[in-house]
Amino acid sequence: EVQLVESGGGLVPAGGSLRLSCAASGFTFDDYVIAWFRQAPGKEREVVSCVANSDHATYYSDSVKGRFTISSDNAKNTVYLQMNSLKPEDTAVYYCAADAFDWVGPRDPNEYDFWGQGIQVTVSS
C-alpha cells in the first residue's frame, strides 16, 4: 500500500522558516517524482516544487524560487521542503504527491496518482 505522510507544518511569523517532510512507503522510491503542492482557501491546488528521486533533478515555481529548497533522502525514503523567508501568501495546506514520471516539471494535480493527507502551514503577518 502506497503511503505518503507529511509532517512539519505549523504557524510561523513572516520571514520565518519551516521544514516539511514527506515520508514515503509502498513503492520503489528511486523510480518516482515527488512533488509538493499547496492549496489556499478558495484557490486551486498549485505545484510548489518537485524532485526526481533518480537523479535529484528539481523544479520550483516562480513564487517560491530562491526561498524554498526541495531535497530527497533515498536512504530514508523521505522528501523535504525547506521553506525560508516565508510570506503570508505562502499560507495553505501543503500536500506531497508521487508518481512514476520520467522527467521532473510542472504537472496538473490530476496527473499524480498518490497523495498525502495534507498539512497546514500558516504564516502570520
Residue 70 exposed, middle or buried by CB count within 10 Å (0-12, 13-18, 19+):
buried
The rounded mean pLDDT for the chain is: 97
* Residue in 20, 21, 34, 25 with CA at minimum distance from that of residue 2: 25
Q: Quick one: what percent of the chain has pLDDT higher than 90?
A: 99
Does residue 102 surpass a pLDDT of 90?
Answer: no
* Residue in 92, 90, 91, 98 with CA at minimum distance from that of residue 116: 98
Q: What is the pLDDT of residue 8?
A: 98
